[in-house]
Structure 1
Amino acid sequence: MPGTRLVERALAERLAVSRSPVRGALRLLAADGVVAAGERGGYAVLRVPDAAPVAEDGDGVEATYLRIAGDRLDGRLPERVTESGLAREYGLTPAQLSRILQRIGAEGWIERMPGYGWRFRPMLTSQGSYRDSYRFRLTIEPAALLEPDFQLDEDAVREVRAQQQHLVDGAIREVGDAELFDRNSAFHEVLVQCSGNAFFIDSLRRVDRLRRLVEYRRTLPRDRAVVRCREHVEIADLLLAGRRAEAAERLREHLGSVGAEKAGE
């Protein structure tokens, strides 16, 4: 979203790389006019490049990506695949397939095998495992806000709050399911990062990677999803006001209710 502040440290942590490649990538994006120097240092998004078409039949990146995600979730794609096989199955050129694989790889649900081919990583598929993922998050996320070493990253919290407010203000009806998942998971990850506890942070990222595909199937209707985004804004406001205990309790209520709603309980 134009105006979004890009925090070098947060990007490096999310991508599991050092700051050097992130810094280099931001400089390249600045040269292309995609980002610009921010008023408070670092960079901010200047414009969002138009997505290039991916599939020969006219489908965009999102449609082809979601088709692959759905086929994997339904078991129509085996654990191990080849680029030639995927290209034939989805009618992709090598360049188009490469872009999709780069995205899936960055999201953490596929990895390149030594020498040849790709391997899908484990993911949540059953109703029970999906429900358990929310119960696990219900245990760790509110506790993360109460950690003794908790330090509020005010800039990062304000940034994800602004993204959630943008969704509440109407953008939620314009974004796809994958982008909505990314924005919502980013909100929760930023809050947990403030805990300063690496085990909390790593655990939540692993769960987010495992639940990504099944979340596309369980995305709430937009009129219900906007309620959850509004709750995100309320939690952020409590943290920014220094009311950490209340924020933790509100987060507990949020996760409990949205988990039950998505799991159909």
Structure 2
Amino acid sequence: MPRALADVLATNIHQHITQSGMAPGTRLPERALAEQFNVSRSPVREALKRLAAQSVVAAHPDGGYAVAEGIAPASGAGVIEIETVDADEQTYLAIAEDRLAGRLEDRITENELMRRYGITRAQLHAVLRRMAQEGWIERRPGHGWMFQSVLTSAETYRQGYRYRLLIEAAGILEPTFRLDRDALMRCRIEQEGLANGGVRTASPAALFDANSRLHETIAACSGNVFILDGLRRLDRLRRLMEYRKAVDRDQAERRCREHLTLIDFLLEDQREAAADFMKLHLRNAVREKTSD
């Protein structure tokens, strides 16, 4: 179960209890909560377990959970909006978590995946297509699937950022650098939308895609095919590690605003300033993401 989703749901359910003025002992049916927050029952169940550990809810004698006695108001100004998470997305994230945790072997069959995650073959195929497009699984000749290498440790994650420090700033200073203004402006519009509130509700996958798209667009401007290829390969390797990390929305917003500064340096043809800022941006990112 993706931890970030359950944590957000726990906050939302807590706020729902306090803002609705629910009396202690009020039952909290999983099905009703799932319908209210537009998710399946599994993440609701995980969220209720978290709230039980915090004494916000308590086990009910007839099963399930009920509002506990004397709970404190939930922190936060309002309910956090959750991007709709359908069954395919939940399965995708569950497979990613199990793969990173070492619970799935390198080689696996569709039947094993269907049994493990309780899904149909059609649902599985949709998830496998996405995974294959992102480059972390491929079909084996004749039978089954094979997971590809991904970053799985804190040290390799840091090494990935050190590699990026070497190639991304250098790419901006390449003599073959040619600015793709239209592509960069599209990235700017996307980053501005995130910085102005979108980052608060975007999924980890959407944030990763938007941010990697910007960095790969800049790498493509370098005119050096090895810089672009190297960054794309690294992005495929680190994708699951990024999904697994809990999203700090304040940090994510700050990085989006840094992206806007970086884009503006490039649009103003201040390439040396952009290269220096790229190094600062990447150092800030790795420090924030590896501080825990």
Give the aligned partner of residue 159 of structure 1: 186
What is the CA–CA distance in structure 1 between the aligned matches of 2:41 and 2:253, rounded to whole Å? Answer: 34
Q: 2:97 aligns with which of 70, 78, 85?
A: 70
Give the aligned partner of residue 74 of structure 2: none
Runs of 4+ in 1 over 4 A off after TM superposition: 53-59
What is the CA–CA distance in structure 2 between the aligned matches of 1:54 and 1:99, rounded to whole Å? Answer: 19
What per-residue deviation string (whole Å, max 9, x for no partner) do you get for residues 46-72 of structure 1?
Answer: xxxxxxx99997953222211110000
Moved more, 164-173 or 57-66: 57-66
Q: Give the CA deviation at 1:182.
A: 0.8
What is the CA–CA distance in structure 2 between the aligned matches of 1:110 and 1:162, rounded to whole Å? Answer: 32
What is the CA–CA distance in structure 1 between the aligned matches of 2:262 and 2:87, rounded to whole Å? Answer: 35
Conserved in 1, the CA contact under 8 Å of 2:98 and 2:104?
Answer: yes
Query: What's the Cα RMSD here?
Result: 1.9
Name the aligned partner's letter for residue 149 of structure 2: P
Give the aligned partner of residue 135 of structure 1: 162
Give the aligned partner of residue 214 of structure 1: 241
Is 2:146 aligned against 1:119?
yes
Q: 2:196 aligns with which of 169, 178, 181?
A: 169
Conserved in 1, the CA contact under 8 Å of 2:204 and 2:247?
Answer: no
- Who wins on radius of gyration, i.e. which is larger? 2
Q: 2:270 aligns with which of 229, 234, 243?
A: 243
Give the aligned partner of residue 195 of structure 1: 222
- Residues 116 and 213 of structure 1: is their aligned pair in 2 closer, same or farther, counting only changes over 3 Å? same
Q: Give the CA deviation at 1:92.
A: 1.1
Is 2:128 aligned against 1:95?
no
Q: Give the CA deviation at 1:218.
A: 2.7
Gaps of 5+ in 1: 1-52
Conserved in 2, the CA contact under 8 Å of 1:87 and 1:97?
Answer: yes
Give me the identity figure in percent: 50
What is the CA–CA distance in structure 2 between the aligned matches of 1:196 and 1:182, rounded to whole Å? Answer: 22
Give the aligned partner of residue 41 of structure 1: none
Name the aligned partner's letter for residue 256 of structure 1: R
Gaps of 5+ in 2: 1-37, 43-84
Give the secondary structure class of the aligned counterpart of 2:102.
Answer: coil
With structure 1 as the length reference, what TM-score do the two structures score? 0.77
Q: 2:176 aligns with which of 116, 124, 149?
A: 149
With structure 2 as the length reference, what TM-score do the two structures score? 0.70
Conserved in 2, the CA contact under 8 Å of 1:54 and 1:64?
Answer: no
Name the aligned partner's letter for residue 65 of structure 1: Y
Conserved in 1, the CA contact under 8 Å of 2:137 and 2:145?
Answer: yes
Is 2:136 aligned against 1:109?
yes
Name the aligned partner's letter for residue 257 of structure 1: N
